[in-house]
């Protein structure tokens, strides 16, 4: 079991460029969550999918951020026109899909916008 795989581990992007972050959930897990971690805000919920369908995107900034789950083996988080305040560690977690107690986090993608 390789766990939740996130790529890239580190990404540096220039202000105004696009960034796409990838998450591969644990095989057989039907729910995928995205969180953002910063020193100031801590861990903030962004969005989640269940059986590839978007369930709750209440934490997603309405502009520039989008997430997709085109198949059960990966999800993407896309940030358009990146800004310095988007710099954070973006964490993906997966769950078998029945209860909250089964979250497994990936190691995250550290995004730096310069």
Which of 5-17 are b and which e, b meaning 16 or more Cβ less than 10 Å from the residue's Cβ? ebeeeebebeeee
For residue 28, the minimal CB distance to other proteins (Å) is 15
Please choose, from the candidates 14, 12, 17, 29, the residue with its C-alpha nearest in 3D space to the C-alpha of residue 109.
Answer: 12
For residue 45, the minimal CB distance to other proteins (Å) is 4
Q: Where along the sequence are the contacts to other proteins (CB under 8 A)? A: 3-4, 31, 33, 35, 42-45, 48, 50, 56, 58-59, 91, 95, 97-101, 103-108
For residue 55, the minimal CB distance to other proteins (Å) is 8
- Find all residues with CB under 8 Å of 16, minimum gap 6, and list them: 81, 82
Q: Which is nearer to other proteins, 92 or 113 (CB)?
A: 92
């Amino acid at each position: 079991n390789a766990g939740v795989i996130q790529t890239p581990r580190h990404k540096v992007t220039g202000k105004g460029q696009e960034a796409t972050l990838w998450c591969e959930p644990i095989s057989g897990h039907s729910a995928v969550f995205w969180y953002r971690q910063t020193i100031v805000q801590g861990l903030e919920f962004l969005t989640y999918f269940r059986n590839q369908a978007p369930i709750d995107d209440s934490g997603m900034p309405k502009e520039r951020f989008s997430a997709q789950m085109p198949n059960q083996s990966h999800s993407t988080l896309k940030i358009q026109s990146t800004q310095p305040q988007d710099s954070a560690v973006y964490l993906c977690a997966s769950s078998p899909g029945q209860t909250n107690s089964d979250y497994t986090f990936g190691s995250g993608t550290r995004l730096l916008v310069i």
